């Protein structure tokens, strides 16, 4: 981006996908949670380092989404119990992040950098 002239154009955009696990505590996922917290902090640090290079860097921290990664977990009894424990008692669809990521990657977000956005349908409340 810098080589392509982001400093002059101000058009550099980076969106990093983290996880709500960065801000939660759980059982048995300490290493995963620590790495996701590291992703959020590293991203803010890089946003500060690159701000004068015309690069905006932001983080989206999604909650649980029905994806291939989770397979059929949310159809199991344990998965159904997990969904029932959330305030809205539903899981997000695969396209839940699309609008925010498109916005952050666009010129409309020119004034936003170093931000961390949680998109979890209230799962972390």
Domain carrying residue 34:
6-119
% the chain with pLDDT above 90 = 91
pLDDT higher than threshold 90 for residue 69: no
Per-residue pLDDT band at 26 (split at 50, 70, 90): confident
CATH number at residue 95: 3.40.50.720
Catalytic residue among 9, 32, 89, 108: 32
pLDDT at 14: 98
The count of structural domains within the chain is 1
Q: Is 64 a catalytic residue?
A: no
For the chain, the DSSP string reads -TTTTHHHH--EEEEEE--GGGG---SS-HHHHHHHHHHHHHHHHHHHHHGGGTEEEEEEEE--B--TTTTTGGGSHHHHHHHHHSTT---B-TTTTHHHHHHHTSGGGTT--S-EEEESTTTT-
């Amino acid at each position: 981006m810098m080589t392509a002239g982001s400093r002059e154009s101000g058009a550099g955009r980076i969106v990093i996908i983290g996880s709500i696990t960065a801000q939660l505590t759980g059982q048995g996922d300490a290493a995963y949670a620590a790495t996701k917290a590291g992703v959020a902090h590293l991203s803010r640090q890089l946003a500060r380092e690159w701000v004068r290079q015309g690069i905006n860097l932001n983080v989206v921290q999604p909650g649980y989404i029905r994806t291939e990664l989770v397979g059929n977990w949310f159809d199991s009894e344990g998965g159904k119990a997990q969904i029932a424990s959330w305030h809205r008692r539903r899981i997000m669809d695969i396209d839940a992040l699309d609008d925010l990521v498109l916005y952050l990657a666009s010129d409309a977000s020119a004034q936003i950098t170093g931000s961390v956005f949680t998109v979890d349908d209230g799962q972390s409340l």
